[in-house]
Amino acid sequence: MARVAVTLFPIMVIVAGIVGFVLPGPAASIAPAVPWLLGVIMFFMGLTLTLPDFARIAKRPWMVLVGVVLQYLIMPLLAWVITIALQLPPELAAGVILVGCAPGGTASNVVTYLSRGDTALSVTVTTCSTLLAPIMTPLLTLWLAGAFLEVPFQSMMVSILQTVLLPVVGGLVVRMFLSRVIDRIQGVFPWLSTIAISLIVAAVVAGSADKIVQAGLLVFAAVVLHNGFGLLLGYLVAWGMRMTQRERRAISVEVGMQNSGLAASLAAAHFSPLAALPAAVFSVWHNLSGALFAMIMARRPVTDEG
């Protein structure tokens, strides 16, 4: 299911983007439902979590701490540097920075698994960065994007609590009481999440369809640089800290892949549809680059294990 999802997901998102561009009217009608769609995605994430996922934090807290710190250090600063280097307009600059300040996405866990990385570490870092998002995402966005646009810190924090933290906790609680039922049906969760993200992308693209022709190439360049350098720097830092090959792959993916659905939802709600465009493009690109990363790494043997 994971292999099929990581293969078809970019295709579905691209199709959704085309629909949003060609039929902006119908696609834009989805916009009011974007926060609810994000809540559904995060609820499914909570359903996939188990108590042992949190127990892993106690087993190697320093490594999880490193992953979370790199997540909230490399990508936000990298986004800020790219916006300055490319001289992005204020709305696009805020959108790119918001992507960088978002936590890791669940797609990173799938890509880590397919690349034969440390999946347990990936899941734990994603969980921790998501639980910290209500504070870290608006705080970093205010710090780095405040020079471009007014950043509503409090309302953004409330939005993340409502659409991210509460659904994740709700999913975790449901999993605790209905674990056997969830185990039987969890194969459908990736597909429902993919449909929800595709609808978010369609709504975001429809909201900025008139400006995509002008800003499309610039946004694409920013997204490719952001994602590519994130993967590279994450791997290099993990290598410099003498982590194992599986751990390096997990940290690289965790740093380079973001929760673009959250970034798109926040940008559309608190900034503008144009500010949400980088997140929509990132949603497509990081899954394509993640699939390529997994294909390359899966063919490279792990040589530092007995």
Tell me the mean pLDDT in the region 130-139.
Answer: 90
CA distance 41 to 201: 13
Closest of 259, 256, 260 to residue 238, by C-alpha:
256
How confident is the model at residue 140, as a pLDDT? 93
Judge contact between 99 and 254, C-beta under 8 A. no
Tell me the mean pLDDT in the region 209-233.
Answer: 86
State the pTM of this model. Answer: 0.83
How confident is the model at residue 33, as a pLDDT? 82
Tell me the mean pLDDT in the region 155-171.
Answer: 84
How confident is the model at residue 53, as a pLDDT? 66
pLDDT of residue 186 exceeding 80: no
The average confidence (pLDDT) of the chain is 83
How confident is the model at residue 100, as a pLDDT? 93
Closest of 289, 276, 303 to residue 114, by C-alpha:
289
**Three-class DSSP labels, 12-30:** HHHHHHHHHHHCHHHHHCC
pLDDT of residue 233 exceeding 90: yes
pLDDT tens-digit readout, 67-76:
999 999 999 9
Specify the DSSP element, H or E, that contains 4.
Answer: helix 2-22
Residue 106 or 239, more confident: 239
Domains observed in the chain: 2-298 (1.20.1530.20)
How confident is the model at residue 7, as a pLDDT? 66
How confident is the model at residue 295, as a pLDDT? 80
How confident is the model at residue 97, as a pLDDT? 94
Judge contact between 35 and 162, C-beta under 8 A. yes
pLDDT of residue 173 exceeding 90: no
Residue 79 or 104, more confident: 79
DSSP state of 165: I
* 295 token code pair: 């294909």
**CB within 8 A of 210, min separation 6: which ones?**
24
How confident is the model at residue 238, as a pLDDT? 93
pLDDT of residue 98 exceeding 60: yes
Tell me the mean pLDDT in the region 211-218.
Answer: 76
CA distance 65 to 257: 17
pLDDT of residue 1 exceeding 70: no
Number of C-beta neighbours around residue 215 at 10 A: 19
pLDDT of residue 119 exceeding 70: yes
- Percent of the chain with pLDDT strictly greater than 90: 22
Residue 266 or 9, more confident: 266
